[in-house]
Amino acid sequence: MRIALFATCIVDAMYPRVALATVRVLERLGHEVVFPPGQGCCSQMHVNSGYLADALPVVRNHVKAFTAADYDVAVAPSGSCVASLGHQQPMVARAGGDEELAAAAEAVAGNTYELSQLLTDVLGVTDAAAQLGSWFPHTVTYHPSCHGMRLLRLGDRQKDLVASVAGVELVELPDAEECCGFGGTFSFKNPDVSAAMAEEKIGNIEATGAELCTGGDASCLMHLGGAMARRGTGVGTVHFAEILASTRRNPLEVSGPVELSIPRRPARPSSSVPTQTAGGPR
Amino acid sequence: MSRTALGMPAVRPVHGHGRLHTAVPFPEAAEAELGNTQMRANIRHATHTIRGKRARVVEELPDWEELRSAGSAIKEQVMAHLPELLEQFEANVTARGGTVHWARDAEEANRIITGLVQATGSTDVIKIKSMATQEIALDDHLEAHGITATETDLAELIVQLGHDRPSHILVPAIHKNRHEIRDIFLEQMPETDESLTAEPRDLAEAARKHLREKFLSTSVAISGANFGVAETGTLTVVESEGNGRMCLTLPETLITVMGIEKIVPTFEDLEVFLQLLPRSSTGERMNPYTSMWTGVTPGDGPQDVHVVLLDNGRSAVLSDPKGRSALHCIRCSACLNVCPVYEQAGGHAYGSTYPGPIGAILSPQLTGITSEQNASLPYASSLCGACYDVCPVKINIPEILVHLRDEDVRTQHGERSDDGAAAAPARTRRTPKAPSQMDLLMKGASFVMSSGRRMALAEKGLPLGRVVAGKDRAISWLPGVVGGWTDERDIPAPPRESFRNWWAGHAGETDQRLAADGAAGPADVPHDRPGDAQPVDAPHDRPEEDR
């Protein structure tokens, strides 16, 4: 299949390694990945902040970029961005009086999958170790991001995929369904409440004893990773695509409690696994 | 310009007054509340307990989703035919010997109710289950006219005796623990024995003695109503303690204050709501007391029965097709009990009679987005959506929050006339402002994010962020509107290169990537792709350097 990658703005600019992990996983399944060059952002930041008028050109651009491209299905490693395509873009178009754009947005959204949705529902991946060769010998806990859980109804797709990776020890996160407090510009507008929510989540993450917290949204992970780094918890965050992409030959490097999202010290090669650097930025 | 009528209706939506305005913007109020660790612990414990109970009793109903849909559909029908249903309700109450009064706003309602109490000659009233009277600050108005109101719901009584304000729809004293309640009782109920313990049973008994005296000596009661049935004129109150039933049956005069949105068309509709409400609010299959009364029954119960139908901004909410479903609310508080923002900030941070997620959409709609303070409420949410999931009548709270944020932004920019301006206290009224930092940020982001070319160009500046981040690769201070972020969190230094720019030179290296990963060998990988090739040279941009 020809799969169009919607990297999302935050992954594109801040976490290119998550986009690359997505590519590696899909290529390993024998698919061709293309990157529609016109893509920008899903418009979620503008919509959620109330700037519907400023969201309109962003929506128009996304719809144009993905209507023009030639592919079978599109994928994004972010539940909230995919939810935004389906729930917000048609709304923005209609608020701007553009029915044609709304219909086109619905068509694009209808063919865009969140990564775990695509892997599970379309590509039939149920065992990452067997089908993707995924190997990640670490204890991780999983935080389901709100929009994937409640708007896309992803259920346990992401968690089940992680659990099927060889070497992973998955520990349950207490009160997992509670929001981490990111909420886009919510964390700027209500920084104190947002921090209190993060505090609660971090307490639960620490209680699991996991080395790493994984999830499906780079933005939530950035928020949690940043707050954990500030507190010096020693627990890192990692996108589930990176866990799936990790293999014995080319493992995601974790040496002790390494902060993957916010590296504070140079990574040292783990003694047990050979260092592999091929595959570009992670 | 000519003022000649052009056939347009002259009625403009009238916004509400009373305890609907927050005194300080939510972020500031919340910051203050966050410091109250005892309150946060009390709230956390209470909401988690109710949340668990609710989940268990909802789980056991096989048709819960159908019930929600039915509740939502009935409410939509009500909103579409509200004027007719209210008139039908009035006709039926009147036919059964009751009197209906119409109150446009808080002042009018207070005037009507006070007049009705004065007409009885009583200077004492007992009250039960009325958020509407909290909304219009009736107790203060009565007190100013020499009438003492006693709340008889246990939690409301605690709040009243503590000279406090409710902070939760269902559990108004949720922010108090039993030790604090004991102190309030000892101080405010003179007949209470010094040996009172903080055991819930003892506390309830002390309140019971205090209230029994009031029930037997007071001839006027004021109640709220959970539902008003149009086809019969029946009013309903559901409660747990039985104190409501005392108020509804013992006095000679009963005045019920009901928001106009509480109407249901038929008696049969109660079947749906009397299932949805207790399960969503207290986590019970059925509430212990359900009282229903229709007008006057000669020789039984109150012989002088009044209903005050309160608008106070509800018509204004109804006039907005995108926000009107906030009026579907049956005040169950399920949204409060799952809201992570409410859990941290508590009910007083919302500054209104209606706290939590529903309050964040209802209060600013009732008053209009007229003041800086109330305009902060729609932002008091991370849009996590938990409130929508539990709402028994399917109010899409996150969507309405976004709609109100849009209204707020347009009001700030002077793109939207604000009909409610008169309702806001003069000192807080808003005037269009010069572009804010947020405006400029959004404009700039919109320009960059609406073009792949501009994104690619902007991302060339990423190494600059690496310079700002310095050696430890984390940004720990940012200026302006985003400064709140770095007070609590680090921001990772951006990578050397964005994915987009890196991919431009590496898209075709599929084989090298597969080889490097050891291409685990799924059967469908074409044979011309090496399954177990030697690792290739690393790309020029080595990940180590990016760490």
Sheet strands side by side (includes B99-103):
B99-103, B304-310, B253-259, B220-223, B124-128, B148-151
Which residue of B lies nearest to A262 if distances are taken between CA atoms?
Answer: B492
pLDDT of residue B533: 36
* Tens-place pLDDT, residues A132-148: 999 999 999 999 999 99
pLDDT band at B479 (very low <50, low <70, confident <90, very high): low
The CA radius of gyration of chain A, in Å to the nearest whole number, is 18
Say yes or no to pLDDT of B419 above 60: no
CA angle at B86 for the pair B168 and B66, rounded to the nearest 5°: 60
Q: What is the SS3 assignment for A75? A: strand
Whole-angstrom Cα distance, residue B481 to residue B497? 26
Q: What number is the average pLDDT over the span B486-499?
A: 85
Residue B336: closest CA among B322, B328, B347 = B347
Which residues does chain B have within 8 Å of residue A41's beta carbon, measured at their own beta carbons?
A: 445, 449-450, 455
Whether the CB of B490 is below 8 Å from some CB of chain A: the reply is yes
Q: What is the pLDDT of residue B187?
A: 93
Closest CA to B400 of B430, B349, B431, B366: B366
Inter-chain contacts counted by CB atoms under 8 A, chains A and B? 306
Interface residue of B322, B383, B472 to substitute, partner A, most A CBs within 10 Å: B383
- The residue among A57, A219, A64, A243 whose CA lies nearest residue A141 is A243
The CA-CA-CA angle for residues A13, A18, A22, to 5°, reads: 125
| Distance in angstroms (rounded) separating the CA atoms of residues A35 and A75 | 10
Percent of chain B with pLDDT over 70: 88
**Within its chain, how far is the Cα of B492 from the centroid?**
35
pLDDT at A272: 39
User: In 10 A of CB B255, how many CB atoms?
Assistant: 27
User: CA dihedral in degrees (B383, A118, A240, B496; nearest 10)?
Assistant: -90
Q: Is a pLDDT exceeding 70 seen at residue A282?
A: no
| Sole residue written with tokens 């097709």 | B321
Residues 334 to 363 of B: which have CB under 8 A from any A CB?
340-341, 343-345
Quote the pLDDT of residue B185. 94
Within 8 A of A34 by CB-CB distance, chain B residues are 507
**pLDDT of A188 higher than 80:** yes
- pLDDT, one tens digit per residue, over B325-361 is 999 999 999 999 999 999 999 999 999 999 999 999 9
- How many other β-carbons are positioned within 10 Å of the β-carbon of residue B395? 24
Please determine, for residue B322, whether its predicted confidence score (pLDDT) is greater than 70. yes
Chain B residue with minimal CA distance to A275?
B544
Quick check: B409 contacting A, CB < 8 Å?
A: yes
B528–chain A Cβ distance below 8 A for any pair: no
- Kindly state whether B516 is in contact with chain A, defined as any CB-CB distance less than 8 angstroms: yes
d(CA B58, CA B56): 6
Q: Is A28 within 8 Å of B525 when comparing Cβ atoms?
A: yes
Q: Out of A13, A55, A147, whose CB is closest to B498? A: A13
Query: For chain B, what percent of residues have pLDDT higher than 90?
Result: 74
Taking the C-alpha atoms of residue B138 and residue A209, their distance in angstroms, rounded to an integer, is 53
pLDDT value of residue B524: 43
Q: How far apart are CA A43 and CA A53, in angstroms?
A: 11
Closest to B258 in 3D by CA, of B424, B85, B23? B85
How far apart are alpha carbons A183 and A195 in whole angstroms?
11
For every residue of B245-275, DSSP letters joined together read HHHHHSSSEEEEEEEGGGEES-GGGHHHHHH
Q: How many angstroms away from the CA of B336 is the closest CA of chain A?
A: 13
Mean pLDDT of chain A: 91
Distance CA A206, CA A186 (A): 24
Kindly state the average pLDDT of the residues A49-76.
97
Task: Give the nearest partner residue to B538 out of A20, A197, A278, using CB atoms.
Answer: A278
B319, two tokens: 């006039």
Chain A residues within 8 A of B408 when measuring between CB atoms:
50
| Residue-wise pLDDT tens digits, B230-283 | 999 999 999 999 999 999 999 999 999 999 999 999 999 999 999 999 999 999
A178 vs B26, B340, B381: nearest CB: B340
Instruction: For residues B68 and B59, give the distance between their C-alpha atoms in angstroms, rounded to a whole number.
Output: 13
Cβ atoms of A74 and A113 within 8 Å: the answer is: yes
Q: What's the pLDDT at A253?
A: 81
Residue A264 reports pLDDT greater than 60: no
More confident residue, B22 or B74: B74
A198–B489 C-beta distance less than 8 A:
yes
Mean pLDDT computed over every residue of chain B: 88
The residue of chain B nearest to residue A63, with distances taken between CA atoms, is: B450
The confidence score (pLDDT) of residue B313 equals 96
> Least CA distance to B338: which residue of chain A?
A178
Asked if B27 has any chain A CB less than 8 Å from its own CB, the reply is: yes
Residue of B nearest to A186 (CA): B382
* Continuous segment of H or E residues that includes residue B228: strand B227-229
| Whole-number Cα distances in Å, B385 to A70, B18, B382 | 34, 29, 8
Q: Which of B513, B525, B547 sits opposite A24 (nearest CB)?
A: B513
- Minimal Cα distance from B48: which residue of A? A175
Instruction: Classify residue A202 as exposed, middle or buried by CB count within 10 Å of its CB (0-12, 13-18, 19+).
Output: buried
Whose CA is closest to B381, among A184, A46, A99?
A184
Radius of gyration of chain B (CA): 29
Q: What residues contact residue A210 under an 8 Å CB cut-off, 6+ apart? A: A139, A140, A141, A171, A235
Higher pLDDT pick, A188 / B2: A188
B447 contacts on A by Cβ (under 8 Å) = 57
b vs e for B104-140, b when ≥16 Cβ sit within 10 Å of the residue's Cβ? ebbebbbebbbebbeeeebeebbbbbbbbbbbbbbbe
B477 has a chain A CB within 8 A of its CB: no
pLDDT at B50 over 90: yes
Percentage above 90 pLDDT, chain A: 86
Considering only CB atoms, A60 lies closest to which of B407, B450, B500, namely: B450
Position B536 scores a pLDDT of: 35
Binding-face residues of B in 420-459 toward A, CB within 8 A: 438, 442-443, 445-455, 459
How far is B36 from chain A, CA to nearest CA, in Å? 12
Model confidence band, residue B545 (pLDDT cutoffs 50, 70, 90): very low
Tokens representing residue B261 in the block: 């949105």
| Torsion of the alpha carbons at B470, B476, B480 and B483, rounded to the nearest 10 | 170
Which residues in chain A are closer than 8 Å to B476, comparing Cβ atoms?
230
Could you tell me if B196 lies within 8 Å of chain A, comparing CB atoms? no
Question: Testing the interface with A: which of B486, B517, B532, B534 to mutate, by most A Cβ within 10 A?
Answer: B517
Q: Which amino acid is at B377?
A: L
Cβ–Cβ gap A278/B544 under 8 Å: no
Residue B528 has pLDDT above 50, yes or no: no
Query: Is residue A62 over pLDDT 90?
Result: yes
Tell whether domain A126-260 is in CATH 3.40.50.1860.
yes
pLDDT in tens, A93-119: 999 999 999 999 999 999 999 999 999
Element (H, E) at A82: helix A79-87
Residue B429 has pLDDT above 70, yes or no: no
Beta-bridged to residue B127, according to DSSP, are B151, B222
Chain A's closest residue to B480, CA to CA, is: A188
Does the pLDDT of residue B168 top 70, yes or no?
yes
Q: Which of B450, B525, B526 sits opposite A61 (nearest CB)?
A: B450
Distance separating alpha carbons of residues A215 and A221, to the nearest angstrom: 7
Express each pLDDT in B304-321 by its tens digit.
999 999 999 999 999 999
Query: Are B31 and A192 within 8 A, CB to CB?
Result: yes
Residue B129: pLDDT band by 50, 70, 90 thresholds?
A: confident
Question: What is d(CA B150, CA B4) in angstroms, rounded to the nearest whole number?
Answer: 51
Instruction: Mean pLDDT check: name the lowest of B72-81, B259-268, B369-378.
Output: B369-378
Q: Give A-chain residues touching B446 at CB under 8 angstroms.
A: 46, 51, 54-55, 57-58
Reading the block at residue A53, the tokens are 């008028």
Which residues in chain B touch residue A45, judged by CB atoms under 8 angstroms apart? 442, 445
Nearest Cα residue in chain A from B342: A193
Provide the greatest CA pair distance for chain B.
Answer: 98
Residue B11 has pLDDT above 90, yes or no: no
Banded pLDDT at B143 (limits 50, 70, 90): very high
CB neighbourhood size of B201 (10 A) = 8
Q: Do A45 and B445 touch (CB under 8 A)?
A: yes
Span A194-234, pLDDT tens digits: 999 999 999 999 999 999 999 999 999 999 999 998 888 98
Rounded CA separation B225/B330 (Å): 10
The confidence band for B369, taking pLDDT boundaries of 50, 70 and 90, is confident
- Residue B417's pLDDT band (boundaries 50, 70, 90)? low
**Is residue A281 scored above 90 in pLDDT?**
no
> Is residue B484 pLDDT above 90, yes or no?
no
Cβ-contact B26, B376 below 8 angstroms: yes
- The predicted structure's pLDDT at residue A194: 96
Which residue from B446, B489, B541 is facing A230, i.e. has the nearest CB?
B489
Predicted confidence (pLDDT) at residue B386 exceeds the cutoff of 90 = yes
Count Cβ atoms within 10 A of the Cβ of residue B461 and give its class: 0-12 exposed, 13-18 middle, 19 or more buried: exposed
Structure tokens at B227: 């539902």
Place of tokens 């209808």: A110
What is the rounded distance in angstroms from the CA atom of residue B113 to the CA atom of residue B118? 9
Tell me how close the Cα of A34 comes to any Cα of chain B, in angstroms.
Answer: 8
Query: Could you tell me where the beta strands, DSSP code E, fall in B24-172?
Result: 99-103, 124-128, 148-151
Q: Which of the residues B450, B477, B500 would you substitute to probe the A interface, choosing the one with the greatest number of A C-beta atoms within 10 Å? A: B450
User: Cβ contacts (< 8 Å) between B36 and chain A: which residues?
Assistant: none
In whole angstroms, give the CA distance from residue B312 to residue B110: 11
Report the distance separating Cα B278 and Cα B285, nearest Å. 6
C-alpha dihedral (B374, B376, B377, B379), degrees to nearest 10:
160
- For residues B312 and B17, the answer to whether their CB atoms sit within 8 Å is yes
A61: Cα separation from own chain's centroid: 22
What is residue B330's three-state secondary structure? coil
Residue with tokens 């709100």: A146
